[in-house]
């Protein structure tokens, strides 16, 4: 179920949205809804990446386990080459 929401746009941005909508043969409403949906999806991915990084940092601080850059690069190169690779052992 969709509920109405208002948004205030300055005249310049509103005009740009209307021009794009006309060029794409869509409504300005459709353009704004798509823009908001894409922005939210992108920012959710960024936030998820940030949370993953924070959890990894906390785990490293707790355990001290890590990979060197050389280990990670070599593993990624083998993975990219299509080799059947296991996750490398961590160092302390």
Query: How far apart, in Å, are the Cα atoms of 30 and each of 2, 14, 35, 62, 72?
Result: 13, 13, 9, 48, 44
Let me know how long the chain is.
Answer: 92
Taking the CA of residue 90 as centre, how many other CA atoms within 13 Å lie in the half-sphere pointing to its CB?
7
Distance (Å, whole) CA 29 – CA 87? 47
pTM of the model: 0.72
Higher pLDDT, 26 or 66: 26
pLDDT for 4-27, tens place per residue? 999 999 999 999 999 999 999 999
């Amino acid at each position: 179920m969709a509920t109405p929401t208002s948004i205030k746009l300055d005249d310049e941005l509103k005009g740009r949205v209307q021009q794009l909508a006309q060029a794409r043969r869509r409504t300005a409403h459709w353009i704004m809804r798509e823009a908001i949906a894409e922005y939210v999806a992108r920012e959710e991915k960024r936030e998820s990446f940030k949370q993953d990084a924070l959890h990894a940092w906390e785990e490293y601080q707790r355990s001290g386990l890590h990979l060197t850059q050389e280990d990670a690069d070599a593993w990624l190169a083998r993975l990219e080459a299509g080799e059947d690779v296991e996750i490398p052992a961590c160092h302390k």
